[in-house]
Amino acid sequence: MGERHITVLSPAWRDIDRIADIHLKLAGPKYAEQITDKLLESIGSLAAYPYLGPLHPDPVLAQHQYRKLICGNYVCVYKVIGEDVVIYRVVDGRTDYPKQFL
């Protein structure tokens, strides 16, 4: 079947920027770059393995076919739509982030 196309929506890009800013302030530019690279590498793996992340455990999100990919403390919330993988948000997994989707 080949690799899927990945689309990162604007809210997810803002999430990644915000995460990088937090790590920049807490630990400096090297760590901010490392966390950003790790997030983007994890997202990139979905091109070859779109079902790598399980259906989201939240019943409402699962009903709408959202999946989650864990990357350290962060969760990439995405859907596989046809030949595309759409990244909706990148959130701190320690928060009650499913409320953002309801």
Q: Which of 32, 10, 19, 18 is closest to 89 using CA atoms?
A: 10
Domain residue limits at 57: 5-101
**Residue 52: which CATH number?**
3.30.2310.20
Average pLDDT over residues 65-85: 96
Structure tokens at 65: 């076919």
CB 102 within 8 A of CB 60: yes
pLDDT (tens digit, 9 = 90+) per residue, 38-60? 999 999 999 999 999 999 999 99
What contacts 40, CB < 8 A, 6 or more positions away?
16
pLDDT of residue 11: 96
Banded pLDDT at 98 (limits 50, 70, 90): confident
Give pLDDT, residue 2.
79
For the chain, the domain total comes to 1
pTM (2 d.p.): 0.92
